[in-house]
Structure formats: C-alpha cells, structure tokens
Amino acid sequence: MKRLVLVTMFAAAFLLTSAAKAQDCSNWSNWDLRGTYTMSGSGFIDLSRVVPGAGLPSGLIPMTWVGAHTYNGAGGGTGWVSINAGGNQMNAQFVGLTYSAKANCSIQVTFSMKVAELGNLVVGPVTRLVVPAPMPAGLELHMILGGPAPGTPGGALDLGVSHRISMQY
C-alpha cells in the first residue's frame, strides 16, 4: 500500500510539472495589459522623506492601500489610491501614468500622485516593478515598490497585487 501511494504521488507530481510550462512573455505588448484593475497592498513608508518639508513625522510607519487603475493599451493610464499610513488617511489621483511591457515578463510602471489631503501636492514620480500572472480567474499583476521616488532615499517599500476586472479602458 505504501508503495502504491508513493508511485501515485510521484506520477501526479510528474504530470503536474510536465503540464506546467514557463510563461513566454516575448510577444506581450502594452495592448495585452489593457483594462481596469482593482489593487491592494501594504508596506512601510517614511512620510517625511516622501514629502520633504511638509512637517510630516519621520521614520518608517506601516501603510496599507487600495485603489484602481486603468491601462489604455498604448502605454498610458489613469487611477486612484486610498492610503492609510500610520493612521493618516490620504487619497491620491495618478498623474502621468505610463507602463511598458518587457519581453522578460516584467512591466515598468511610472506615475506621480496628486494627494488631496496635501493641497493636491504632486508626489513622485514613482516607478514600480510589476510582473503579470495569468490566472484561471483572469490576469493578476504582482507589484513591488523597492525604494523611494527620486530624491527621497528610504521613503517607502511595499508589495501589492492588482486583479483585472474588465478589459474596457
């Protein structure tokens, strides 16, 4: 019986790995990413470095965020985000959002944020590394902000995921 279980497990593992194929992104384009996505994520931010001179507290604090964005299929887009950073609620519109699909399965997304609670101050630009993950339920985009906007060393680090909810743009 033990041998039957081991052989069955080995056969199942072999079939699963042989059926799985590496994702080929060499033919992906900005058009393939078009649509509207919902997103959420969390990480840490130093508000004093992201918005220097605004009198915000210094030091890394936890943040969470939710929002939505739309890619137009031609490398541009729009979006919004609602951020809670250490109990400070902020809402922002994306400004100048651009994205570019790469053959290595990465997407570079760059944008600035116009923050309502800071008198519509524009913060950024911010560049995110994004990786597409086709799922049975639709396309997901896994994101990381591995550093701050230019001129703001040590400003933020976060991870997030977007789920395509529509191919309309």
Q: Cα–Cα distance between 166 and 169 in angstroms, integer?
A: 8
Could you tell me the pTM of the whole model? 0.79
Does 100 reside within a domain?
Answer: yes
Does 7 reside within a domain?
Answer: no
- 19: how many CB neighbours lie within 10 A of its CB? 7
Does 1 reside within a domain?
Answer: no
Does 2 reside within a domain?
Answer: no
Does 10 reside within a domain?
Answer: no
Tens-place pLDDT, residues 78-114 = 999 999 999 989 999 999 999 999 988 999 999 999 9
* Domain interval for residue 81: 24-166
On whether the CB atoms of residues 81 and 113 are closer than 8 A, the answer is yes
For the chain, what is the domain count?
1
Does 80 reside within a domain?
Answer: yes
For position 148, which CATH number holds?
A: 2.40.160
pLDDT at 19 over 50: no
